[in-house]
Amino acid sequence: MGHHGIGGQLVARVKRTTPRRTAEAKELTAVARGGTLTLVGGVASGLLGLALLVVAGRGLGAQRAGALFEAIAVFSLANTALGADTGLVRLIPSYQIRGRGDQLRQLLLSALVPPVVVGAVLGSLGFVFAPFLVHLFFRHGPEQEAVRYLRTMTPFLPAAMGMTVALAANRGFGAMRPFVAVQNILVPVLRPILLGMAILLGLGAVAVGLSWSAPFGLGLCLALFLVARLAPTRVTAGGRAGGREAWREIFGEFWRFSGPQGVAAFLQVTLLWLDILLVGAYASTKAAGVYSVASRYILAGGYALQAVGLALGPQLSRLLSQGRTEEAQAVFQVSTWWLMAVSWPVYVLMAVLSPLMLRPFGRGFVSGSGALLVLSLAMLVYIATGNNRTALLMAGFSGWNLAIAAAQLAMNIAANILLIPRMGIDGAAVSWALTIIIGNLLINWVIWAKLRVNPLGSGFWFVAAAVAGVFAVPAIGFRVLAQPTLLSGSLFALVTVILYGLVLSFGRHILRVDVFAGLIRQSTGRASRDDLSWL
C-alpha cells in the first residue's frame, strides 16, 4: 500500500461513493465523535491542571511546591496499572468481534484484581520507606513535610490503579463519557479547589497531600459503578463463560499481552516523572519545583493527542483485527492532521513566548523559560508523529513498545546524569527533548516497517505551512521587536487564532473537517448517518 495513494484518496472529492471510502468515513466519524468529546474533556483537564500548578506555585512557593511535585512524581512512578488499561481497550473489542461476549466478565476481573493488589503492596512500601525516598531525592527542601506528603498519598495507590483500569473498561466498550467525566473533569476539578482550601486555612502537609490523592477514591467508586452498568448489556449468559479452564485461558491471554505493556507503561511513566526527582537529587527541591511547572506546562497541550488517542485505540484494534489496514492508515493520518492543527499553535506560542507563559506562576518560576522553550519544540515532533504508540499497541506489537520504552529510559537517565549537574533544569529539558524525538521517530519507523502506516500526507504539509506562516514567523517578530506583556501577548494570540481559523477554512476538505460538521448536523437531527458517505 503506497503512502501517496492513500493520501490522494483522502483529499479527493469523488462523485461516486465507493464501499472503502464509506467505511473510512464511518471510522473517521467514530474517531471524531469520541475524539471531540475527549478533546473537550482533555482541554478542561489541561486547564484545571494549570490551575493546580498556579495554586501550588503561588500558595506554596517554589521550594514547598517542589516538595509536593516530587511526592507526586514518586506516586506516579508506581501508578501504572500494569498495562491492564491498554489490554482492556484492545481485547474488549476483539472479544466482541470474535463472539466471546460471554467471557467479558472474566476478562474484566482478570484485568482489575492484579493492579489493585499490586497497588496495595506498593502503597504500603511507600508509606514505610517514605523517609528513605525523601533522603534520596529531596535535596535542600522541607524533608518532614515531604515525608507527610508521601505518607498521605501512597495509601491511595490501589484506588488510583483501580480507577484507571475501570475507566479503560468503559473505553473498551466504546463509552467515552465515563472517562471524560471522571478522569478529565471530576478529579482535576477537586484538586485545585481542595488544595486552595488547605493552603488558605493553613491545614498543613497532610491536608495538602490529601487534596491531590483523595479524589482517586471517589473516582474509583464512580468508575466501578459505571462499568458495572455498562458490562451486563454486552455480556451474554452461557457459552464458554464458566469453568476453571476458561478462567485460566482468559487470564493467560490477557496478561501475555498486557504484561509486556505493563513493563513498558512503567518505563514510560518513569520517563515522564524521573527527571523531576533527578533535578531534586542533583540540584535542589526548589529547582525541581521550577522544572515541574515548565515540564508539566507542556503536557497541557498534549491532551489533544491523548483525547484523539482514547477514541482511536478501539477503532484501530478493530480495523487491524479485521485486516483493514488501508482504513487504519487513513484514520491514523487524518487524526494526526487534526492533532497538529489543534496543538502545534499552542507549542509555537509556548516556545517563542516562554518567559511570558511562566509569569502567572510567580517570579520564582520565570527561570524555567529556557526549559519550556526546549520542551515545546520537542512536543512539535511528538504531535507530528501522531498516536504512533497507540497504533503499535493496537496492532499487538507490545514487545516492540517495551524495547523502545526501555531504550528511551536508558538514554534519558544517562543524559540527565550527564547534563543536570552542568546545566541544571535546562539540561533536564534537553535530555527529555532528545528522548521524545528519538523515541517517537523509532516508533514511527516500526509501524511503517510492520504495517505501512505513517502520519504524512497532504494534510500534514498543509498544517505545517499554516502554523509556520500564521504563528511561528509572526511570533518570532513579535518577541524580537516588542516587549511582550500579558495584555499584548493575549491580543497577539487572539488575532493569530482568528487568522489561523480562516486559513484552516481553506483547507477544510484536505483535513476533512466536514466530518465534525456532519456530527453536529447528526446531533441536531438534521442529518442522517449516510450524510457523510461522500467523504
228 phi, psi to nearest 5 deg: -65, -35
Does residue 29 register a pLDDT over 70?
A: no
Does residue 311 register a pLDDT over 70?
A: no
Does residue 384 register a pLDDT over 70?
A: yes
Does residue 2 register a pLDDT over 50?
A: no
Q: How confident is the model at residue 121 (pLDDT cuts 50, 70, 90)?
A: very high
- Number of domains, the chain: 1
Q: How confident is the model at residue 305 (pLDDT cuts 50, 70, 90)?
A: low
Query: What average pLDDT does this structure show over 312-316?
Result: 64
Does residue 39 register a pLDDT over 70?
A: no
Higher pLDDT: 519 or 28? It is 28
CA 242 vs CA 98, 269, 378: distances in Å: 17, 36, 50
Taking CB atoms within 8 Å and a gap of at least 24, the contacts of 435-442 are 435/271, 435/408, 435/411, 436/378, 436/379, 436/381, 436/382, 437/378, 437/381, 437/382, 438/408, 438/411, 439/404, 439/405, 439/407, 439/408, 440/381, 440/382, 440/385, 440/388, 441/381, 441/385, 442/404, 442/407
> How many CA atoms, within 13 angstroms, populate the side-chain half-sphere of residue 80?
23
Higher pLDDT: 8 or 454? It is 454
322 phi, psi to nearest 5 deg: -95, 5
Which residue range is the domain that position 260 belongs to?
Answer: 3-236+245-532
pTM of the model as a whole = 0.71
